[in-house]
Amino acid sequence: MPGWMVVTSPASCWVPAPESQKVPGRKAHSWRLSVKPFMGEPGIFESPGTSLLEGLDQLWIVVVHNDPVNLMSYVSMVFRRVFGWSVQRAEKHMMEVHTKGRSVVWSGGREQAELYVQKLHGCLLLATLEKS
């Protein structure tokens, strides 16, 4: 009686992320897990050093750090433009950066976190992505 196996490797079982989720020139960090029919004994196979859920549920946060050169009005404007926030929310995070030295402005998957950090760097804000 065939069952199903969940594999983390070999690589042939992993499907690359769709083109719409890829960033040109960047290594693909996201992979879809493929579940294949298994004709042998049931079980879960894992290759050493690979976690089944690695990369799938890891949350990343985007942090903006204080730089005294950046005008507060400029930082607030960048937040509104990049994240689509209201004036109130942008000001709140801007003041958090100003008074506490940093503010977590977004959390989610790694690819999107990288895109946000790139946009913030494009506006010359100090931003990093960290594992949540």
Partner 1 sequence: MIFEISKSGNPLFSKIHPVLADILRAVALDPWERYPDGSARLLPPPGDDEELRSDWEDHVQPELRHHFDSERGLVFADLEAMKQGRGKNAAWSLEIPFKHCDAWLITLNALRLALVSENCFSEQELAHMTSPDLGTERGLALMSVNFYAFVQECLIRAMDVTDGESATPVDPD
- Using CB under 8 A as the binding rule, whether residue 20 contacts partner 1 is answered as no
The pair of structure tokens assigned to 88 is: 């109130």
User: Quick one: which of 27, 37, 49, 57 contacts partner 1 (CB under 8 A)?
Assistant: 27
- Using CB under 8 A as the binding rule, whether residue 129 contacts partner 1 is answered as yes
Least distance from C-beta 68 to partner 1, angstroms? Answer: 5
Which residues are registered as beta bridge partners of 3? 38
How far apart, in Å, are the Cα atoms of 9 and each of 33, 41, 43, 76, 119?
Answer: 10, 18, 14, 45, 34
- Using CB under 8 A as the binding rule, whether residue 121 contacts partner 1 is answered as yes
Q: Which of residues 77-96 bind partner 1 (CB under 8 A)?
A: 77, 80, 84-89
Closest Cα partner for 114 from 21, 17, 19?
A: 21
Q: Which is nearer to partner 1, 7 or 127 (CB)?
A: 127
User: Quick one: which of 71, 104, 108, 132 contacts partner 1 (CB under 8 A)?
Assistant: 71
The pair of structure tokens assigned to 23 is: 């960033």
CA distance 23 to 110: 12
User: Where along the sequence are the contacts to partner 1 (CB under 8 A)?
Assistant: 25-27, 67-71, 73-74, 77, 80, 84-89, 114, 117-118, 121-124, 126-130
